[in-house]
Structures are given as structure tokens and as C-alpha cells.
Amino acid sequence: MAKGSKKWWYLPCFAVLIIYIFIVPRRIPVETVIKPLWVNSLESNYPVILPDFSAEENERLLPFTLGDRFGYIQNDGNFTINQTRFGYVSQSENSWAEYEALPSSIQVMNPENEILLTIENPKGYPLFLNNQIYIIGFDQSYITALSPDGEELWTYDFPAPITCVDGTESFLLAGTLDGTLILLNSRGAPVFTPFEPGGSRLSVILGCAISKDASHLAIISGIGEQRFLLLERSGDTYKVIYHEFLTSGFRRPTHIRFADNDTKVIFEREEGIGIYSIGSRNSIKIPLRGEIVAIDNSGEDGFLFAITSQGLSDKRFIAIRYPYLIVNEAPFKSNNAFFSRHGKQLYLGGDLLMASFKLEKN
């Protein structure tokens, strides 16, 4: 009984801590505020609901990975899955799977923890993208697409190990270690001749992204003269409409994604974030301290959010107002960090705590 009382005691304390760190000084800018909604501990399933919160009619399940835990959380703060990770985990909004280094079978589950499919002798690892199920080969040299019942639809062999992948319901975009960009359609056939950006001492695609309508492709490529490139669909092919050198760059996978209803490309660059506006064809750099560990997945309503790390436990939650103004920074202590966004609702995690906030006009 005493143990249970202790757990209930520290949950309100966590709530007060979150409110103090993220809310008390947080007005961004004059007309917009971040309103706290709820806070929950990963060691329980009893969210502390803060004043004036009302759940949306359409419940949404958000996949999360935080340290050695993973699962799904509703927009009202309740977990449908919250468990310790013992192997590797692949997740999407609709499917997940936990598997070993060399799995003999893989169980594909839904966010309610029900079995959707069992894949026998997969010969690779599961990847879930936009309601599609793929298997990436053990040596990362091929991708196989599966039907909802596990039937192999097609397999594509790449010229080198895959280094990045993104997709829509109709297309799969992949970059490789030898610096090749390949776009496949729903039948597994290349949409255009594989593209090799070159221009660097070492050719490698470190990050790639595709817009929802597949009209634009964005990549970070090369080591020793690293570049950001944007390709635009032109008839039956794609053409480079913008490229920018990013100094020496990174030797690891980099963050890159389309944001703000596909009107912008957000990408990681040395000592900051790059924002390219497709309409104006303008690129800016926002200097940030530390390494980016999480970045906004929608970038809507004129704001972009990110979490950076200045050390093992020193994190910083950053709010950016377009086009380039940092309007707030909130430091916090956590070994691990998680961030996601759905519309105006923000989800933030650190170590054993998950919290949600809402952007509101004031």
C-alpha cells in the first residue's frame, strides 16, 4: 500500500516540474502560447490531466520510443502499449514489430497489441512506411514489399547497401552507400534512371525525403563537400532545382524532411538547422548549439520545434518561428528525449516521463 501511495505522490511532482520548465516562461511570441495538457509516467498508466483539457473526438495513437521503452500513447495521455524493449523495434502509426538480430520469424502487431501477421523466415528486418510493409535484407542490399497477408509482392536489389529510406503509399525512395538515389513505384520498378549527385570526395546518401505527392525529393549527400539537393518532378523524370554546399558535414545519417504542408524542407547541417522554402527558393541557416536528437514532423502553424543535446543529459527544447527566429529555448535534464507533433498538439518525452502541450492563440 505504501509503495502505491509513493507512486501517486511523485506523479503530481513530475507535472509541476514539467509546467515549471516548459510553461511558466513560455510565451511564443506575443499571440501564441504553449498550453499544458497532461503528463504521465512510463512506470504507470495514470496520466495527470491538467485544467481545461478535452480530448479530440478522433483518438490518435502515437508511436514512441524512449530509452529502453516503446509503445503507443493516446492523445489523452493513456498508453495502449508501454513496455521494455528487449530486441530491435520497428514502428509506424499502424504497425510494430520487435525482433532479434537474426529473426527466424517476425510478428507484426497493431497499436492495440493484436497480431496482424506472422512473417516466417523473413531474411531481413521489418520496415513500416505509410501503411506498407517491407523487409530490408540482412546485408541491407535489397528491399522486399509484402502484402497485408505477408505475400511477397516484389523485390528490388540495390547496387550498394541502403543508407536511408522514405516513402509514400505509392513510392519508395532510397539512398545507398555508393551515392545512388533510387525511386521505386508501387510495383517495385524504378521511376527514373538512378540518380548519382556526385560532387563530393566520398559519395554516400546520408539522408533522403519525399514529399507527400512525390513532386519533390530532397537529399543530403557526400562526405568532404557535403551537399543539400532538391529535385523536382519534370515529366517522367526529376531535375535538380537547388543545391547547396554544407561544408564538411556529417559522417552519419542526418535528419531531413518535408514540413509545413510540403512547402519547406527541414534538414540538419553543421551547428544548426537548414530551412529551404520551395516557393521562394530561399535557404536559411538557424544556428543551434549541440546535436539535434529530435525534430518537428509537421512544422505547421508558423512554428518548428526541435530538441538538441549538449551532453549526455543536457537537452534543450527549442521553438522556432518562421522564417528564422528562435523565440524560446527550454533546457531540461534527461538522458533520452522524444518529440512528435500532430497538428497543434505537441508530445514530449524524457527518460520516464511523457507530456503533451497545445499551441493556442492568446
* Selected residue with higher pLDDT from 312 and 89: 89
pLDDT in tens, 324-334: 899 988 898 99
Cα 174 from Cα 311, distance rounded (Å): 31
pLDDT in tens, 190-215: 999 999 998 778 889 999 999 999 99
Q: What is the pLDDT of residue 57?
A: 54
Look at the chain and count its residues. 362
Cα 38 from Cα 157, distance rounded (Å): 46
pLDDT in tens, 106-135: 999 999 999 999 999 999 999 999 889 999
**Least confident span in 23-37, 159-173, 204-218, 223-237:** 23-37
Q: Which residues pair with 36 in a beta bridge?
A: 357
- What is the value of pTM for the model shown? 0.89
Q: Give the DSSP per-residue string, 12-57.
A: HHHHHHHIIIIITT-B-SSSEEEEEEEEEETT-S--EEPTT----S
pLDDT in tens, 38-58: 999 998 888 888 876 766 655
pLDDT in tens, 234-279: 998 999 999 999 877 788 999 999 999 999 999 999 889 999 999 9
Q: What is the pLDDT of residue 49?
A: 87
Spatial CA neighbour of 40 closest among 358, 261, 348? 348
* Selected residue with higher pLDDT from 284 and 34: 284
Q: Return the C-alpha cell found at 67.
A: 530509452
State yes or no: pLDDT of 223 exceeds 70. Answer: yes
Residues 90 and 119: beta-carbon distance below 8 Å: no
State yes or no: pLDDT of 175 exceeds 90. Answer: yes
Binning pLDDT at 50, 70 and 90, where does residue 90 land?
Answer: very high
Q: What is the pLDDT of residue 225?
A: 84
* Arithmetic mean of pLDDT over the chain: 88
By percentage, how much of the chain surpasses pLDDT 90?
71
* Selected residue with higher pLDDT from 27 and 288: 288
Instruction: Kindly list the domain boundaries of the chain, sorted by start residue.
Output: 2-80+163-361, 86-157
State yes or no: pLDDT of 347 exceeds 90. Answer: yes
Binning pLDDT at 50, 70 and 90, where does residue 28 land?
Answer: low
Residues 121 and 135: beta-carbon distance below 8 Å: no
Binning pLDDT at 50, 70 and 90, where does residue 14 land?
Answer: very low
Residues 299 and 8: beta-carbon distance below 8 Å: no
State yes or no: pLDDT of 10 exceeds 70. Answer: no
* Selected residue with higher pLDDT from 1 and 32: 32
- Please, is 317 exposed, middle or buried when counting C-beta atoms within 10 Å of its C-beta (0-12, 13-18, 19+)? buried
Q: Please report, as a single letter, which amino acid is at residue 323.
A: P
* Selected residue with higher pLDDT from 208 and 24: 208
Q: What is the pLDDT of residue 4?
A: 43
CATH numeric code, 86-157: 2.40.10.480
CATH topology of domain 2-80+163-361: Methylamine Dehydrogenase; Chain H (2.130.10)
**Least confident span in 16-20, 59-63, 307-311, 339-343:** 16-20
What SS3 state is found at 183?
Answer: strand
- Secondary structure string (H, E, C) spanning 240-288: EEEEEECCCCCCCCCCEEEECCCCEEEEEECCEEEEEECCCCEEEEEEC
pLDDT in tens, 298-309: 999 899 999 999
Spatial CA neighbour of 158 closest among 85, 106, 208? 208
What SS3 state is found at 309?
Answer: strand
Q: What is the pLDDT of residue 8?
A: 42
State yes or no: pLDDT of 98 exceeds 50. Answer: yes
The mean pLDDT value for 69-81 works out to 94
Q: What is the pLDDT of residue 202?
A: 83
